[in-house]
Structure 1
Amino acid sequence: MTVNATDIKASGKAAAASYPESMVPDADPAPAGAPIPSTFWGYVKSFGPGIVLVLTWLGAGDLVDNAVAGAHYGYTLMWGLALALIVRYLLVSIIANYQLMNIQGHTIFEGYAKVWKYYPILLAIGGIVLGHFYESYTIKGSGEALYYLTGESGSVMLWSIVAVIAAVLITGKAVYRYLENVEKIILVVLAASLIGGAIVAKPDVGAIVAGTFAFEVPQTVGSYGALLIVISLIGAVGGSLANLLYPTFMKEKGYIRPEHRKVQRYDLLFGIFVIIVLDLAVWVMGAEVLHPRGITISNFNDLAHLLGQVAGRLVS
């Protein structure tokens, strides 16, 4: 008995016709994930994971370090920060590209498992250990922020407990959309205070350009050489486990198909631009206010006082 392709095709159509219409598989399922923007404002409105990521990166320690670098070196070492963040962009972009474009549909951790099956386990252990230290000062920082925002009512310990309870209550819940909206509000506040403070400090634009593009290595100030600081900065930001958060934010946003690669790339690029501007704004205040006076800062409270001196009490 000979069966040709025409017979198979015909029998397939007959079989499909024998099922109720509701049971026939949809040949053209609706595309999954976030809609693909087609206009400039469509792209702007779609941004989100990159903002959440960079504000996750941006901690009190980073801001203090930038102010200290500005106080020690003025504008001459700005290129180190810019270079470190560009390296971070390239590394995180590769991670995002893998998750969107690999034909197996692997997540980044599944990809690491293909390299070495124990690699995800090591990353998980590192995440738990580092997460413990990160969350320790994050909880204390949240308590201090809430304490001062409420007019010094209660105590830092009390507000830290409130922050922990709030974190427990939202754990495991689909709160990404709310997180993104909150982070955008925080971004506006940070931009107004830090960029506003940098503008009030009257930055030397020519010195900023030279410090960013001249690649000058200044003389050592303190215990470590300037070049060693730059290398350490690049290694720290490039190898941070926080880089692995971006694929999760992408998935929550709906960047899950190869077609999302373009909007994802712009989203991450915008986020990197944001953190460069914020970091350099703090650096400017250190260079303009602290460097000429030969003084420095050692903690976040000192940074708050610096903002108060530059932009007034309302911003601090």
Structure 2
Amino acid sequence: MADTADTAHGTAHGGGGAPTPAPRRPSWRHIGPGIVVAATGVGAGDLVATLVAGGKYGYTLLWAAVLGCLIKISLAEAAGRWHLATGRTLLDGWRSLGPWTTVYFTGYVAVWGFVYGAAAMSSTALPLAALFPGVMGLKWWAVLCGVGGLLFVWFNRYAVFEKVMTFLVGVMFLVTVYLAVRVAPNLGDLLPGLVPALPDGSLLYTLGLVGGVGGTITLAAYGYWVNAKGWRDTGWMRVMRLDNRVAYLTTGVFVVAMLIVGAELLHSSGIAIAKGDKGLVDLGGLLEEEYGAATAKLFLVGFFATSVTSLIGVWQGVSLLFADFVARLRERDGAPAGTGAPGPEAGAVPVERSAPFRAYLLWLTFPPMALLFLDQPFVLVVVYGVIGAFFMPFLALTLLWLLNSSRTPGEWRNGWFGNTVLGAAGVLFLVLCVQQVRDLPW
């Protein structure tokens, strides 16, 4: 890759005489990892949440959706900055905080991956079943999606993965913007929605909208994708920041477009859609009634692009995290901490070909298929809910800790603004965590 080759030259000398990486000039040709993390984080659940927000409150909560994107920019930037500033992976940083992080992450990747695998396969299957009715049952579409995602990630390295994800993001973007234009937004109502306001009884719903847009474990994978791109030192810091901001600005347009669709198509007519991913199939039916079969099918194509990016993004990104997790566990007592992330030049065997990476791919794909044909066990639902609820506060608060400690070079530690945003994000996610745990079927 061109980016990898660029890392081989261009250094400057600091005041102490030690070579320091020369800053690379930000360029559109470098953009990639941010698109990948943003596309992976925005799934069918975010589509539904944003549509329901528009359907229930019109444009009133537009500001909350935009704020959610800004928070994710800060979180992804913090993860990328840790990798570039320290030369260490996020798993290595977590491990330095104590063994409790290893215990939590072990439970998380085991239970979360098992349940999420089934959910991702089902979500990706829904638009296919709607596009090709009568071809086969939804569960078998889900199995096909899972196996297809496995084979794609298994046989491709990061460069191909990024190109495919970028193409799918383009499809998502064009479809959602077209739909927003098609439903003819009322700009006079849209602009006031950028002013923070809380309709009666909407506080927790609003917090969920702020915290839920693109907020998953894949935010933690951003630093790994940055390294896989070939960005491995502070010379790439400005490039990483441009990449991250462009990606989440694209996500912001995507989210605003879906809220417009909800406000104009659902709110104005008083129509409610089903909860969960099936609500998007309902929306497809409404679009067909209002705008014809072609528009409905186009929406289903965008729905599929949104779901499949989340599937293959998690299959690739969380498998990278797991491979690094296993590498940290294998370190011998007394050995130095890891000094870099898995990537193109990390040893003779590329991380995508390593046994831990592929083992987690198999874990995400085949065991969850049992859940497609069986009801989810009660205990598993509760454990999954608790572990999953704690991840975003865990990510925000550990990044806050790492980036204010001596583990991070002084130049790249958090300033007051970074601390304010990460601290606010941590509090927000803790509130959502408590609410999510309370809502579980105890």
Q: Is there any run of 5+ residues in structure 1 with no aligned partner, and where?
A: 1-28, 220-224
Indicate conservation of the 8 Å contact 2:46/2:213, yes or no: no
* Cα separation, 1, equivalents of 2:30 and 2:190: 31
Which of residues 286, 291, 295 is equivalent to 2:262? 286
* Cα separation, 2, equivalents of 1:234 and 1:290: 21
Alignment partner, residue 125 of structure 2: 143
Alignment partner, residue 163 of structure 1: 145
Give the direction of change, closer, same or farther, for the CA distance of 1:30–1:193 in structure 2 (3 Å limit). Answer: closer
Query: Is 1:175 equivalent to 2:175 in the alignment?
Result: no
Give the direction of change, closer, same or farther, for the CA distance of 1:235–1:69 in structure 2 (3 Å limit). Answer: closer
* Cα separation, 2, equivalents of 1:239 and 1:121: 22
* Cα separation, 1, equivalents of 2:291 and 2:170: 16
Identity across matched positions, percent: 27
Aligned partner letter, 1:30: A
* Cα separation, 2, equivalents of 1:171 and 1:293: 43
* Cα separation, 1, equivalents of 2:179 and 2:151: 36
Indicate conservation of the 8 Å contact 1:47/1:267, yes or no: yes
Q: Is there any run of 5+ residues in structure 2 with no aligned partner, and where?
A: 1-6, 11-21, 297-442
Alignment partner, residue 280 of structure 2: 300
Taking the TM superposition and a 5 Å limit, the aligned residue runs for 1:1-316 are 30-31=8-9, 38=25, 43-102=27-86, 105-150=87-132, 152-212=134-194, 214-219=195-200, 225-236=201-212, 240-298=216-274, 299-309=279-289, 311-316=291-296
How far is the alpha carbon of 1:86 from its aligned partner? 0.9
Give the direction of change, closer, same or farther, for the CA distance of 1:305–1:239 in structure 2 (3 Å limit). Answer: closer
Tell me the secondary structure at the aligned position of residue 293 of structure 1. coil
Give the direction of change, closer, same or farther, for the CA distance of 1:309–1:86 in structure 2 (3 Å limit). Answer: farther
* Cα separation, 1, equivalents of 2:244 and 2:38: 9
| Stretch moving more, 147-156 or 79-88 | 147-156
| Stretch moving more, 88-97 or 182-191 | 182-191
Aligned partner letter, 2:32: G
Give the direction of change, closer, same or farther, for the CA distance of 1:272–1:45 in structure 2 (3 Å limit). Answer: same
* Cα separation, 2, equivalents of 1:278 and 1:132: 29
Give the direction of change, closer, same or farther, for the CA distance of 1:177–1:226 in structure 2 (3 Å limit). Answer: same
Kindly tell me the number of residue pairs found equivalent between the two proteins: 275
Give the direction of change, closer, same or farther, for the CA distance of 1:194–1:171 in structure 2 (3 Å limit). Answer: closer
Tell me the secondary structure at the aligned position of residue 315 of structure 1. helix
Q: Name the structure, 1 or 2, with higher relative contact order (CA <8 Å, separation 6+).
A: 1
Indicate conservation of the 8 Å contact 1:143/1:156, yes or no: yes
* Cα separation, 1, equivalents of 2:24 and 2:189: 39
Superposed CA RMSD:
2.5
Tell me the secondary structure at the aligned position of residue 295 of structure 2. coil
How far is the alpha carbon of 1:63 from its aligned partner? 0.5
Indicate conservation of the 8 Å contact 2:41/2:216, yes or no: no
1:38-77 alpha-carbon deviations (Å, 9 max, x no partner): 47xxx22221111111111111111111111101101011
How far is the alpha carbon of 1:37 from its aligned partner? 6.1
How far is the alpha carbon of 1:106 from its aligned partner? 1.3
* Cα separation, 1, equivalents of 2:214 and 2:48: 19
* Cα separation, 1, equivalents of 2:149 and 2:138: 16
Indicate conservation of the 8 Å contact 1:79/1:215, yes or no: yes
How far is the alpha carbon of 1:141 from its aligned partner? 2.4
Indicate conservation of the 8 Å contact 1:193/1:315, yes or no: no
Indicate conservation of the 8 Å contact 2:89/2:224, yes or no: no
* Cα separation, 2, equivalents of 1:183 and 1:173: 15
What TM-score, normalized by structure 1, do the two folds share?
A: 0.78
* Cα separation, 1, equivalents of 2:133 and 2:229: 36
How far is the alpha carbon of 1:95 from its aligned partner? 1.4
